[in-house]
Amino acid sequence: MPLYLNPEQLREQAPGPHLDLIGTMAFRAAGAAQRLGVFDALLDGPLPVTELAARTGTDEGTLPVLLDALVSFGYLDRTPGQVYANSPMTAGSLDRRSPWSYAPALAFWQDLMGELWDGLEEAVRTGRPAADFYGWLERRPRTLREFQTMLDGMATGLAPLVAATAPDPGRRLLDVGGGHARYSIALCEAHPRLTATIVDLPKALEGGRARIEQAGLAGRVSAVPGDVTEADLGSGHDTALLFNLCHGFDGPDNRALLKRVAAALRPGGTVLVLESFADLPEGTPPAAEAFTRAFSLNLAVTQGGRIYAFDEIAGWLAEAGFGRIERRALDGPSELLIARLPDADTAGPSGAGAARAPEADGARSSGADAVRLPGADTARAPEAGGGHARILAGGAPRAVLPVAWTREENR
């Protein structure tokens, strides 16, 4: 809720639940304004309320009530004579012409919160999701487009950083659930000998195919339709990507998926898991922590998943035969988990690669895969209470939201 007030001042003005009520009203009002086309109508400059009502097809008497509320919430500015303009915050974050626009996310969350969160109590009571999230999306083409555009925008901001931070992916890449194709494209552009196979649902692959063609990579990146929990993932891949995927499944399903991924890799193969972890890094801003916890609750309600701790996913990977587990920080709340299968000459008697416990602190302190991020020192520190190596970008404050959602407003 962009009220731009000091938190101490807010606490002095009203009880916390009342402030949350205002925030809920602000969220709903912003969503209504977006659906009515208010923000889009003001992209080219201020308009008097009469002209704004004409352009948006709204009632000239009721529209100012919404507009004045949006002024209070920080979305609009008002000048004398009932002339309204997008605020700097709105101009920087809700302009759909920008690849970093938050507009798709606002539209998606409006639909989801308005429909699926009615099942919150039942999901907590039973431990089962209240709805079939992807079935719900399939029945709502507009919401599905907003969801896919939102994911694409997030990936657009992170893909170059992932390509610069990840270890060498080898020659064959398996992208599990990466239908928008941003990460496969970024890695193939960074590694000219790399080919990639993306496995995802047919609808999710539609935009990815177009991006692959646009990037001139149709001969190196293939899109295979299928449910990642059942589809043939192939074999002999050097690296597999599971990006923002584990949080949508429960523990048993994640265990099964990671074993399937292990079987699709060659001995010595690598898996990269991109997630926000429940054990957030020290110094995470309060807003980022609050959203992470709320998003975890949303996953429980809508998909039966949640945000998992790093050690939980690392443990499942060890059960699947992976070892040499690392944690590397990226921009915003997302982090990269890297794990490797044993080489053929160190595999267990079955030849499939025996499970290996995570290595002790400092086991890879001089590893060749350590990456120095631009503008920050790279340091490795042990995970508290664990044994997993971790790479931290020292000295840089962590962003509240993914880089794709903060870059435009902060220019």
> Tens of pLDDT along the chain (411 residues)?
444 455 666 667 788 888 889 999 999 999 999 999 999 999 999 999 999 999 999 999 999 999 999 999 999 999 998 999 999 999 999 999 988 899 999 999 999 999 999 999 999 999 999 889 999 999 999 999 999 999 998 899 899 999 999 999 999 999 999 999 999 999 999 999 999 999 999 989 999 999 999 999 999 999 999 999 999 999 999 999 999 999 999 999 999 999 999 999 999 999 999 999 999 988 888 888 999 999 999 999 999 999 999 999 999 999 999 999 999 988 778 899 999 999 977 654 433 444 333 433 333 222 333 332 232 233 333 333 334 444 333 333 344 455 444 444 443
Sign of the CA dihedral with 351 first, then 355, 360, and 364 last: positive
At residue 127, the pLDDT reads: 93
Provide the residue type at 95 as one letter: D
- Helix (H, G, I), strand (E, B), or coil: what is residue 2? coil
Tokens (6 digits) for 346: 């160190």
DSSP string, 231-298: S---S-EEEEEEES-GGGS-HHHHHHHHHHHHHHEEEEEEEEEEE--SSPPTT--HHHHHHHHHHHHH
Instruction: Report pLDDT for 393.
Output: 36
The whole-angstrom separation of Cα 221 and Cα 211 is: 10
215 φ, ψ (degrees, to nearest 5): -80, -5
Rama region for 218: left / alpha / beta (φ>0; ψ in -120 to 50; rest): alpha
The answer to whether the Cα torsion of 364, 366, 369, 374 is positive or negative is: positive
> Among candidates 407, 404, 410, 406, which has minimal Cα distance to 180?
404
- DSSP, residue by residue, 200-228: E-HHHHHHHHHHHHHTT-TTTEEEEES-T
C-alpha to C-alpha distance for 343 and 3, rounded to whole angstroms: 55
CA dist list (Å): 27 to 3, 73, 74, 95: 12, 9, 11, 17
CA distance 37 to 31: 10
What is the amino acid identity at position 114? Answer: G
Length of the chain: 411
CA atoms within 13 A of residue 65's CA, in its CB half-sphere: 6
Could you give the CA distance from residue 268 to residue 124 in angstroms, rounded to a whole number? Answer: 41
Say how far apart CA 261 and CA 201 lie, in whole Å: 17
- C-alpha of 92 from chain center: 20
Tell me the three state secondary structure of residue 171.
coil
41: its two tokens: 């109508």
Instruction: Supply 354's token pair.
Output: 């025996």
- Residue-by-residue DSSP string for 369-392: T----TTSEEEE-PPTTS--EEEE
Residue 230 exposed, middle or buried by CB count within 10 Å (0-12, 13-18, 19+):
exposed
